[in-house]
Amino acid sequence: MMSRTLILSFLVWNLVFISGPCSPILTHAAGGGQWKLLKQNIGITAMHMQLLKNDRVVIFDRTDFGLSNISLPNGKCRNNPMELVVEYDCTAHSVEYDVLADSIRPLMVQTNVWCSSGSVSPDGRLIQTGGFNDGERAVRIFRPCSTCDWEENVYGLMVPRWYATNHILPDGRVIVIGGRQQFNYEFYPKSKLYSLPFLFQTYDPRIENNLYPFVHLNVDGNLFIFSNNRAILFDYKRNLVVRTYPQIPGGDPRSFPSSGSSVLLPLKNLQQSSIEAEVLVCGGAPNGSYVQAENGKFLKALNTCGRIKITDVSPKWSMETMPLARVMGDMTLLPNGHVLIINGASEGTAAWELGRNPVLNPVIYRPDNSYGSRFEVQNPSSIPRMYHSSAILLRDGRILVAGSNPHVSYEFTGVLFPTELRLEAFSPSYLDSGFSNLRPKIISPASQAKVKYGERLVVRFSVLGALSEKRVVVTMVAPSFATHSFSMNQRLLVLGGGKAISISKSTYEVEVTMPNSGSLAPSGYYLLYVVHQDIPSVGIWIQIQ
C-alpha cells in the first residue's frame, strides 16, 4: 500500500492560464483540498476576522464604505455627525458568523474600525483597537456571547492607531505597535507611550512599507518585529533592541502595502532547556511595485519565502521559492503544523485598485519536509480574494475565507474585482472522507477545559482504523486576528505525543505536558487537536491559565 506522503507526492500540478479580456486568471489543475460556498452574502466584506471561544467569528470592515448589504438589528440606525460618508446609517459594518448554526447576525460598531488591529484577552474577549477618523483612538471590546455587541471607549488609546499590529502578552496585557506615522508602541490597558525608532528606520517615505509589522512573541518573551525588509528582537519591557536580524535577502519589502505575510512556525520540544523558534515570511511586492502600479504597470509579486531561526545568536535567512508568486496572501497555521498560504494576487500591490491577477490556488507548506519539497499547490477557488480579504482557521480544521474590496466604496458592478460578500470554506485534504479511518476523535477532556501551565494532560481519543502510535501528536493553536494578510497572535505548539496507549478497542490515551510559561503560550483560549498521521481531529477549546 502506498503511504499517504507518497500519494500526495503523486499529485502533480501544472500551470494553466485562462485569459480573460482584461485580466488573465491564474489557476492550476490537481492538488488537494475542497472549496465550499457557505454564504452567498454576509452583507459586508471580511476585512477583519477573529474566531472566539464560542465558535462564532466576529467580522468587520469599515463604517465609511457606504451602505452595506445588511441592516442593523432591531431597526437601529447610527446617527454620527463625525461620519465621513453616511451620517445616518441603518446598515451594519460588522457581523457575527455562527459557525455551528451557519448563520449571520448583524452587529453595531459606533466608530470607524477601518484598518484596525486586535487580540483576544485571557478571558476570551476580543480587544480591538484603533481605526480611522472618529475611531482612531478607540478600544472596543466584544464579549463572546450570543446576544453581545460591541462596547467602545473612544479614547482608549494614547495616540491614533491606523494599520497597527497587536499582540497578547504573557502578563495578559495587549501591546499595540505602530500604525501610520506612529513610530512607537503602547499597551492596553492604557499606560504610557514608548518610542520605537525601528519603525522609522524601516519607513519608506514613498509608500511607508512599515505598516502592519509582523510581530511574533518569541519563546524568550521578547517580540520579533519584522517591518519592511528586516527585523529586530525587541524587549518591550526595557524598550531595548536585543538583536538585529540581517535584512531579508533581495531587500524587497514584505510589510504593508507591499504585503507579504508571516507566521511563527510550530514550536516543538517544549520541555527542552533551549527551545528553538523559527519565523517564515512569504511573498510581498518588489521594491517600487506600488509606484509602478499607480502608473498602470503591475509588477510580478515576490515568489520567495525567507525562513529564519530567531532564537539563533547569529541567525541567517534561508530562502525558498514558492510555486506561485503572491502579494496580499494570508498565512494560516493548520492543526497539523503545516502552513496554508491563501488569497491574494500575483501582480501589483495592496492598496486601492493596485492588485491584479488573483491567485486562486492556496499552497501548503510543510515545514518539516526537506528543503525543496515543502510546497504543494491546492485546488483553486473561483472567487478572487484581493485587497481586504482574510482567512482564519475554524475548530473543525476548515479555513474560513471571505472579503475582498479593493475600492474606496462598495462596488458591486462595473469594476475589475467587485466587492465580495461571499463566505467560503477551504477544506484541506486532511478532511477528505478517505481519511476517516485515520482521523482521531477527542473523547476527553471536554471542550472548554481549564488547564494550568506545566500540567500533565491526558487526552483520550478514538481512531477507527489501525493506530500508528508513533505518528500521534497533540497540538494547540491560538486563534488569530486576521487582517491585511497578517494573522496577529497566531501560534501553534506541538505538545508532544508518539506514546499513545491503547485503552480499549479503538480508544487510546496520550499524555502531554502543557507549556510551562506565558512566553510560550500567553494565557487564554486555544484549540487543542489530536493529530494522527497528519490528520487532525476536530479541535476542542482549552483555556490555559
Ligand X SMILES: *[C@@H]1O[C@H](CO)[C@@H](O)[C@H](O)[C@H]1NC(C)=O
- Alpha carbon distances (Å) from 372 to 92, 262, 366: 46, 19, 10
What is the Cα–Cα distance from 95 to 61, expressed in whole angstroms?
9
Smallest distance from the beta carbon of 293 to ligand X, in angstroms? 14
Binding mask 85-104 for ligand X (x = CB under 6 A): ------x-------------
What is the Cα–Cα distance from 17 to 446, expressed in whole angstroms?
48
Smallest distance from the beta carbon of 288 to ligand X, in angstroms? 5
Comparison of 69 and 110: residue with beta carbon closer to ligand X: 69
Q: Count of residues binding ligand X (CB under 6 A)? A: 8
Binding ligand X (rule: CB under 6 A), the pick from 23, 69, 516, 545 is 69
- Residue 70 binds ligand X, judged by CB under 6 A: yes
- Residue 288 binds ligand X, judged by CB under 6 A: yes
Comparison of 255 and 462: residue with beta carbon closer to ligand X: 255
- Residue 349 binds ligand X, judged by CB under 6 A: no
Binding ligand X (rule: CB under 6 A), the pick from 71, 80, 506, 519 is 71
One-character DSSP codes across 10-29: H----EEEE--SS--EEEES
Asked, as a colleague might, if the bond just before 189 is cis with ω within 30 of 0, I would say: yes
Residues forming beta bridges with residue 502, ordered by sequence position: 508
Q: In this structure, which amino acid lies at residue 50?
A: Q
Comparison of 292 and 447: residue with beta carbon closer to ligand X: 292
Smallest distance from the beta carbon of 104 to ligand X, in angstroms? 12
Of 65-73, 74-82, 181-189, 361-369, which segment contacts ligand X by CB under 6 A?
65-73
H/E stretch holding 9: helix 4-10
Nearest to 162 by CA among 256, 286, 67: 256
Binding mask 19-58 for ligand X (x = CB under 6 A): ----------------------------------------
Smallest distance from the beta carbon of 543 to ligand X, in angstroms? 37
The C-alpha R_g of the chain, in whole angstroms, comes to 22
- Residue 176 binds ligand X, judged by CB under 6 A: no
363 within 8 A of 375, measured Cβ to Cβ: yes
Of 64-72, 111-119, 308-316, 450-458, which segment contacts ligand X by CB under 6 A?
64-72
Smallest distance from the beta carbon of 46 to ligand X, in angstroms? 16
Neighbours of 36 (CB within 10 A): 11
Of 68-76, 99-107, 173-181, 315-323, which segment contacts ligand X by CB under 6 A?
68-76
Comparison of 67 and 242: residue with beta carbon closer to ligand X: 67
Of 66-74, 172-180, 343-351, 422-430, which segment contacts ligand X by CB under 6 A?
66-74
Of 67-75, 156-164, 212-220, 266-274, which segment contacts ligand X by CB under 6 A?
67-75
Binding ligand X (rule: CB under 6 A), the pick from 197, 251, 434, 465 is 251
Smallest distance from the beta carbon of 280 to ligand X, in angstroms? 20
Reduced to 3 states (helix: H, G, I; strand: E, B; else coil), residue 57 is strand
Binding ligand X (rule: CB under 6 A), the pick from 287, 304, 343, 405 is 287
What is the Cα–Cα distance from 8 to 85, expressed in whole angstroms?
50
What is the Cα–Cα distance from 408 to 415, expressed in whole angstroms?
12
Close Cβ partners of 260 (under 8 Å, ≥ 6 residues apart): 254, 281, 282, 283, 284, 285, 302, 326, 327, 329, 485
Of 63-71, 321-329, 363-371, 461-469, which segment contacts ligand X by CB under 6 A?
63-71
60 within 8 A of 12, measured Cβ to Cβ: no
Burial class (CB in 10 A: 0-12, 13-18, 19+), 101: exposed
216-245 residues in contact with ligand X (CB under 6 A) are 229
Comparison of 189 and 249: residue with beta carbon closer to ligand X: 249
Smallest distance from the beta carbon of 346 to ligand X, in angstroms? 21
Close Cβ partners of 258 (under 8 Å, ≥ 6 residues apart): 207, 209, 228, 252, 284, 285, 286, 287, 289, 290, 327, 349, 350
One-character DSSP codes across 383-432: S---TTEEEEE-TTS-EEEEE---SSS---SSSSS-----EEEEE-GGGS
Comparison of 327 and 459: residue with beta carbon closer to ligand X: 327
- Residue 170 binds ligand X, judged by CB under 6 A: no
List residues binding ligand X (CB under 6 A): 69-71, 91, 229, 251, 287-288
